[in-house]
Amino acid sequence: MTKLTIAQLLKETKLQEVEVKGWVRTFRAKRFIALNDGSTLNNIQCVVDFENTPEDTLKRITTGAAVAIKGELVESQGKGQSVEVVVSSIEILGDSDPETYPIQPKKHSFEFLRENAHLRTRTSTFSAVMRLRSALSFAIHKYFNDNGFYYMHTPIITGSDAEGAGEMFKVSTLDQKNPPLTEDGEIDHTKNFFGKDTNLTVSGQLEAETYAMSLGKVYTFGPTFRAENSNTSRHLSEFWMIEPEVAFMDLAGNMDLAEDFMKSVITYILENNAEDLEFLDKRLADEEKTKPQAERSELSLIEKLKFVTENNFKRVSYTEAIDILKNSKPNKKKKFNYIIEEWGADLQSEHERFLVEKHFKCPVILFDYPANIKAFYMRLNEDGKTVRAMDILFPGIGEMVGGSQREERLDVLKEKMAVLDIPEEELWWYLDLRKYGTAVHSGFGLGFERLVMFATGMSNIRDVIPYPRTPQNAEF
């Protein structure tokens, strides 16, 4: 008797006695169980001999019940599957009361499923999304491993708040009601667990730079945090980020790396996750049909993925992009929500999407941004007003990747920090990298959930992470 997963069974050509365990998705005509074990989107059909099965057992074959089935794997008579199981014995492992089980065999709203996030991967949509999330994670590790990068775990709790990427959460073991105070009436952080005030990290980049400047090519893939009160479908308070960092690589090399990387991970899921992608492609198409014509996407999910893998990414300077946008129809006709009037403007998603979807019709890498709208650690160009930053823009979603060549000159970096009131004592170790064997180096950051949204066609970021953390919500 062979014990295989349903994914394996569905590919079997040898007809045989099998044992299979899973959860009932549906049971119809007292005869056909659609059984799923999570290994694949597809169910295996198990045909029950209802005349010789006790009525009491039949009643307990309900949606969500866990069952163990023994039987014979045979060619299927029905359409949609090549094999099915003729049940010789069935055991109910765990009942599921149809009166109270939240996941019924019908369409549930995503809002409802978010409230039942512990059960939502029992639906086809969420199991497909989470299998893809897993596959994308693996594709990322595989890409970097294959290309000589070392994976680095940067710290989550940080004593620094100088990274400047956003509002931070405090981490503390002090008594919240009666915190110890200094003589001056301030919080006495020497009594705190780490002997100082600590926060949850907003980025591992600065620490990743320390490893790039010794191990050469490194990357991080870990959780990062923002305490901003942004209750939108695009923001999470806790999300995962990928940040490669490479010594001796300039901005052009950074663009090459990012393009190759994005194409590689998307190719991986196209090759390895076709069933889940096709299901989500169809789901998105159905969702699009409910929208007014003007708001529908021109590309299907799979077309969007191939848009990335099959096109060269167009490299355009920020200055050039501003010219294109200023002279574009939607700008002149005031169709943009934010009209582009002059050099220096921060681009919005609508502008990024215009460049990608309407103007260039391919993924776009914008580079050489105005220094004053970008972070302190980015390499200042010789013009004194732009920095070697790059953003990669994708269809539908706008910015996917943000990166830069880093400022490797000690004096320039110190000047920038002084202007922004970042104390040198806080980043002494970061400055050390510029004191001892400094060199050109670059890297980028990719918000993992944005990638999962892009790859699955889900439109709310809460639906691509198992247990989303957002303002007023830390359930499960």
- Give ∠ CA 362-354-384 in degrees, rounded to 5: 90
Nearer to its own copies, 418 or 439 (CB): 439
Which of 153, 291, 332, 358: binder of its own copies (CB under 8 A)? 153
Residue 111: exposure state from Cβ atoms within 10 A (0-12, 13-18, ≥19)? exposed
Write out the binding residues for its own copies, residues 248-277 only, by CB under 8 A: 248
In the region spanning residues 28 to 57, those forming contacts with its own copies, defined by CB under 8 A, are 37-39
Is 471 in a helix, a strand, or coil? Answer: coil
| Structure token pair of residue 19 | 């044992």
106 lies in the site for its own copies, by CB under 8 A: no
Cβ-based nearer residue to its own copies, 191 or 326: 191
134 binding its own copies? (CB under 8 A):
yes
- By CB under 8 A, tell whether 143 contacts its own copies: no
What residue ranges in 175-293 does DSSP mark as E strands?
A: 198-200, 217-225, 238-247
**230 forms part of the interface with its own copies (CB under 8 A):** no
10 Å CB burial of residue 147 (0-12, 13-18, 19+) is middle
Q: Which helix (H) or strand (E) holds 413?
A: helix 410-419
Residue ranges in 345-384 that form contacts with its own copies under rule CB under 8 A = none
Nearer to its own copies, 328 or 438 (CB): 438
131 binds its own copies (CB under 8 A): yes
Q: Does residue 88 belong to the site contacting its own copies (CB under 8 A)?
A: no
- Cα–Cα–Cα angle for 81, 107, 395, nearest 5°? 85
Is 433 among the residues that bind its own copies (CB under 8 A)? yes
- What is the smallest separation between the CB atom of 41 and its own copies, expressed in angstroms? 11
**Cα–Cα distance for residue pair 205/433, rounded to 1 Å:** 13
Position among 76, 161, 223, 415 found at the interface with its own copies (CB under 8 A): 223
- Point out which span in 45-53, 191-199, 316-324, 360-368 binds its own copies (CB under 8 A): 191-199
Residue 405 binding its own copies, by CB under 8 A = no
310 touches its own copies (CB under 8 A): no
Assess contact for 214 and 233: CB atoms under 8 A: no
Pick from 59, 111, 148, 310: which binds its own copies (CB under 8 A)?
148
Residue placing its CB nearer to its own copies in the complex, 173 or 327: 173
Distance CA 410, CA 471 (A): 39
Choose which of 32, 57, 114, 156 interacts with its own copies (CB under 8 A): 156
Q: Rounded CA gap, 401 and 47, in Å?
A: 49
Min dist. Cβ of residue 278 to its own copies (A): 19
Q: Residue 122's closest CA among 236, 250, 22, 271?
A: 22
In the bound state with its own copies, the residue whose beta carbon lies nearer, of 37 and 287, is: 37
Residue from the set 50, 110, 169, 268 that interacts with its own copies by CB under 8 A: 169
Distance of alpha carbon 321 from alpha carbon 359, whole angstroms: 10
Total residues at the site for its own copies (CB under 8 A)? 106
> 145 or 327, CB closer to its own copies?
145
Hey, CA dihedral for 299, 302, 307, 310, is it positive or negative?
negative
AA identity, residue 424: E
Q: Out of 15, 74, 93, 274, which residue is the one contacting its own copies (CB under 8 A)?
A: 93
